Chains A and B, each alone.
Chain A
Amino acid sequence: EPEVTQTPSHQVTQMGQEVILRCVPISNHLYFYWYRQILGQKVEFLVSFYNNEISEKSEIFDDQFSVERPDGSNFTLKIRSTKLEDSAMYFCASGNRGSNQPQHFGDGTRLSIL
Chain B
Amino acid sequence: AQTVTQSQPEMSVQEAETVTLSCTYDTSESDYYLFWYKQPPSRQMILVIRQEAYKQQNATENRFSVNFQKAAKSFSLKISDSQLGDAAMYFCAYRPSPNFGNEKLTFGTGTRLTIIP
Contacts and interface: CB of A to CB of B under 8 A. Distances in A.
Interface range on chain A (Cβ under 8 Å from partner): 20 to 34
Interface of A: 31, 33, 35, 37, 41-45, 48, 55-56, 89, 91, 93, 95, 97-99, 102-105, 107-108, 110
Contacts of A31: 103
A46 to B, nearest CB: 9
Contacts of B33: 99
Contacts of A33: 104-105
A108 B43 contact: yes
A45 B50 contact: no
A89 B52 CA distance: 28
B25 interface: no
Interface residues of B, number: 26
Contacts of B98: 97-99
Contact of A41 (B52, B97, B109): B109
8 contacts: A35-B105, A37-B43, A42-B109, A43-B105, A44-B107, A55-B101, A93-B105, A105-B46
B106 interface: yes
B91 A43 contact: yes
Nearest to B42: A107
B52 A107 contact: no
Contacts of A105: 37, 44-46
Nearest to A89: B43
A45 B104 contact: yes
